Amino acid sequence: MTHLAFVAVAYVLGIGIPIAYALAAWQRVGAARRKLAAIDPRGQRP
Amino acid sequence: MSPADYQQGDAVRIMYVHVPSAWLATAGYSGLALCSVASLIWRHPLADLAAAEIGPVGAGFTALCLATGSLWGKPMWGAWWVWDARLTSVLVLFFLYIGHIALVRAFDDPTRGYRAGAILALVGVVNLPVIKFSVDWWNTLHQPASIKLTGSATMAPEMLWPLLICAIGYTLAFATIVTMRTRAAVMERRIRGLLMARAASDPGA
């Protein structure tokens, strides 16, 4: 396989960057949901 | 498996990451501009939040486009970077994204930041046709478009289909990330509102 190092680095970036963004977004949604559940009066109604 | 190119060898495989990220860099900026229009004309709060969340994701995909372009350029052109019209206009797009990210967060009053960011985003729209037509307007090292809406693709189907599948995957990833970030931003705005209301109703606390 020619230029293997260049191809490998490109695919590491191409997969790693979207996954890093997705994980960060998922973590942010989870943190916001937990905090909102703790303080939102609408969530505390029976 | 997609075949190696007869001239580029396996370096052609970088295209499957580079081209979708380039498309999404410009499509993301178009989305940012549409949100900015909705923000300036209708003052829609969700448009403000969506624009602020598209910015960092678009900047990431533009950086990915530039990085993978460099990784392809070194073995094919013998240079990591050339001041070619296409490369330079995409670099300008990256700086526009960075400027938008900074401007939106530069004001104590978020509304002013959203307005300033929206104006910058709309001014930057002029760069999109420059990116698209740079390979036609100037004599560039970057190759012209292989896929055109008005004509058949100048690319073998064994390479075209994997490229389109990668483009669909990247588009779905981009849309999912922006949707999740916008959803988090909506919840964070509500949290701030609730905390401020609580502080206002209980000033001694």
Question: At B86, which amino acid appears?
Answer: R
> What pLDDT score does B122 carry?
97
B5: phi then psi, degrees, rounded to nearest 5: -80, 145
Task: Indicate which of A1, A4, A7, A12 best probes the interface with B, i.e. most B CBs within 10 Å of its own CB.
Answer: A7
In a domain, B50, yes or no: yes
Q: Does B101 touch chain A (CB under 8 A)?
A: no
Sort out which chain A residues have CB atoms less than 8 A from B175's CB and list them.
none
pLDDT at residue number B203: 67
Q: Rounded to two decimals, what is the model's pTM?
A: 0.92
Confirm whether B5 is domain-assigned: no
How is chain A split among helix, strand and coil, in percent rounded to 5?
Answer: 85, 0, 15
- Give the C-alpha separation, A24 to A5, whole Å: 28
Q: Is residue B116 part of a domain?
A: yes
**Stretch 171-190 of chain B: residues touching chain A, C-beta under 8 Å:** 173-174, 176-177, 180-181, 183-184, 187-188, 190
Q: Residue B121 falls within a domain, yes or no?
A: yes
- Percentage with pLDDT > 70 across chain A: 89
Q: Please indicate, yes or no, if residue B2 is contained in any of the structural domains.
A: no
C-alpha B14/C-alpha B200 separation (Å) is 55
Q: Is residue B78 part of a domain?
A: yes
In a domain, B111, yes or no: yes
Tell me if A7 and B13 make a contact (CB, 8 A cut-off): yes
The ipTM is 0.90
In angstroms, the CA B93 to CA B91 distance is 5
B5: β partners: B9
User: Would you state the pLDDT for residue A43?
Assistant: 63
pLDDT in tens, A23-40: 999 999 999 999 999 987
Give the span between the Cα atoms of B151 and B131, in whole angstroms: 20
Give the 3-state secondary structure of residue B158. helix
Number of domains within chain B: 1
Higher per-residue confidence, B116 vs B140: B116
Residue B126 placed within a domain:
yes
Which range marks the domain in which residue B196 is found?
A: 10-201
Q: From the CA of A16, how many Å to the nearest CA of chain B? A: 10
Q: In the 8-state DSSP scheme, what is residue B81? A: -
Which residues are B165's β-sheet partners? none
